Amino acid sequence: MKIALAQINPFIGDFEGNFLKICEGIDKAFALSADLVVFPELSVCGYPTRDFLDYKHFTKASLAIVDRVAAYGKDKLAVIVGSPSFNPAKEGKDLYNTAFLLYQGKIIHTSHKALLPTYDIFDEYRYFEPAHEFSTIDFNGKRLAITVCEDIWNIGNENPLYKVCPMDELIGQQPDIMINLSASPFSYNHAAERIDIAKANAKRYGLPLFYANQVGAQTEVIFDGGSLVVAANGDLIREMPYFEEGVEVFDTDHLMPQKEQPKEKYQLMHDALVIGIKDYFRKLGFTKAIVGLSGGVDSALTVALAVAALGKGNVLSVLMPSQYSSEHSVSDSLELVKNLGSPYKIIPIKEVFDQYDKILQPHFEGLPFNVTEENLQARIRANYLMALSNKFGYILLNTTNKSEAAVGYGTIYGDLCGGIGVLGDVYKTQVYEVCKIVNKDKEIIPHHVTVKPPSAELRPGQKDSDSLPEYPILDPILYEYIENQQGLDEILAKGYDEALVKRVLKLVNRAEYKRYQTPPMLRVSHKAFGMGRRLPIVGKYLE
């Protein structure tokens, strides 16, 4: 049997657009003489669907597309698509997360998702009832075991999250092939984990696995594709491209092993950030971005990524020097935009800042210059950027990195504003590594930008290290606390200074209110700020 995997980039709630995309995949699979084509999880409506699922009309609209796909299907070509479906029982949740097998105009089989992840960015038990019954289906001389995403992930773990493995239930029916519809989000180490899980399933059940994954970005959540075919002995047959749509066909009787794709961490992060920007703009109908270009490494990288995603003519850099800006902040920025060939403006802020200062001085009661005046500068710059955004339809890209977001090193309603946070899941030390990817073929980000000490330049001689530990010291502590979810005692056991760790953790917890008011941040790690990390604003833990 010939099975096609259709790795597509759906748009949440765009039923007509998703239908046309699925039809295109069916046409390609048919042209390649496939007997069966498999699309990703919830491919009809897009994933993650979130509270759209609370509306019955949404599920009805999705199921209507399933019927249209069935009617569109080619003779002798079966199609598997994902959609929410209604649970007819009064007990339990009202919906299932369902894989539909369509053939000759009809739904001939359904498989409901059994393992509903409710952790990190996932919240599926909020909406779906888990499958309680499991059945295979005979098609074209093969017995198929169809599962959905998480259903194959509950193996190889000393502390399993679920009490059941769907394939343990299905294997007794003697299937010949495993098929998995997936919407498995990107993080820079997840592709390797995905292959390990796929191989573990193939070996455990002695069956080949055909795994169709989603590609593209849905706001902050990015999907990398990398759909898989694994032989019954665990050999990797094919890993489809990352961050690209495509349809490929595989003959179950002739599965030849191939090498997996390279998984260089910072190249993956770079590519994920580019598609994250591109899809955020494309899916929302935006075309032009604006960035406050400071001369620092974060804004330089953001501009370079935006140009890669949107084109050099669609990214406006705005240089907003103050009386505290160094000469190289402007010269480095001008060198960057020259290298990129992208437009820019220079709008100084000193005159406006002086007016603010003059008007407010009588009300400051003689108190000295402090963070108040620093924040005023950041907010003036934000007003400039948002004025241009409103006037010309630009979308402001936020340039805050994960280290800054973690400890609250930024001005709310100032440099923390924007439509999408490009680097909010990239630590400062990682920013430099992604810059190397940008510069791998030729120097785009000027060398001086990547070697000068980081500074907000909001007062004379200011450096980030005046307020924070050096980033090579800070970032590993943040990683232990945020990504590894290690507590105070566990971090101290690794040999870190107690006073430093307590200070850092306190900064992270106290900055929660700022993070609640920042834009969504593109997710490239396994624990990003935003929907995957939910902490109270008002709390006293580690205070």
pLDDT mean across residues, the chain? 96
Q: Are 316 and 349 in contact (CB under 8 A)?
A: no
Res. 457: pLDDT tops 70: no
As a whole number, mean pLDDT of residues 407-433 equals 97
Residues 6+ apart with CB under 8 A from 144: 101, 136, 137, 138, 175, 176, 177, 179
Output the pLDDT for position 504.
97
Rounded to a whole number of angstroms, the distance between the first and last alpha carbons of the chain is 61
Helix/strand/coil (H, E, C) string of 422-478? CCCCCCHHHHHHHHHHHCCCCCCCCHHHHHCCCCCCCCCCCCHHHCCCCHHHHHHHH
pLDDT category at 414 given cuts 50, 70, 90 is: very high
Res. 65: pLDDT tops 80: yes
2, 21, 113, 402: which one is catalytic? Answer: 113
Percent of the chain, pLDDT > 70?
A: 99
Output the pLDDT for position 325.
76
As a whole number, mean pLDDT of residues 42-48 equals 98
Q: Does the annotation mark 113 as catalytic?
A: yes
Res. 47: pLDDT tops 70: yes
Output the pLDDT for position 73.
79
β-strand 95-103 against 78-86: which pairing, if any?
Answer: antiparallel
Output the pLDDT for position 58.
98
- Categorise residue 95: left if φ over 0, alpha if ψ from -120 to 50, beta otherwise: beta
3-state secondary structure of 94: coil
3-state secondary structure of 191: helix
151-165, 212-226, 384-398, 408-422: which range is least confident on average?
151-165
- Categorise residue 158: left if φ over 0, alpha if ψ from -120 to 50, beta otherwise: alpha
Q: pLDDT tens-digit profile of 490-500?
A: 999 999 999 99
Tokens 């592709």 label which residue? 191
pLDDT category at 149 given cuts 50, 70, 90 is: very high
Res. 114: pLDDT tops 90: yes
Output the pLDDT for position 202.
98
Q: Does the annotation mark 45 as catalytic?
A: no
pLDDT category at 507 given cuts 50, 70, 90 is: very high
As a whole number, mean pLDDT of residues 221-240 equals 98
Q: Does the annotation mark 165 as catalytic?
A: no
Res. 288: pLDDT tops 90: yes
Res. 323: pLDDT tops 90: no
Kindly list the structural domains of the chain, giving each domain's residue range(s) and its CATH number in brackets, ordered by start: 2-253 (3.60.110.10), 268-464 (3.40.50.620)
Q: Are 97 and 117 in contact (CB under 8 A)?
A: no
As a whole number, mean pLDDT of residues 327-356 equals 95
Res. 363: pLDDT tops 80: yes
Tokens 């003959």 label which residue? 251
pLDDT category at 269 given cuts 50, 70, 90 is: very high
Closest alpha carbon to 533 in 525, 541, 265, 474: 525
As a whole number, mean pLDDT of residues 296-301 equals 97
CA distance 442 to 447: 11
Q: Which residue has the higher pLDDT, 45 or 455?
A: 45
2, 21, 41, 457: which one is catalytic? Answer: 41
Q: Which two tokens stand for residue 34?
A: 């496939």
2, 129, 149, 457: which one is catalytic? Answer: 149
Res. 168: pLDDT tops 80: yes
Res. 541: pLDDT tops 90: no
Output the pLDDT for position 305.
98
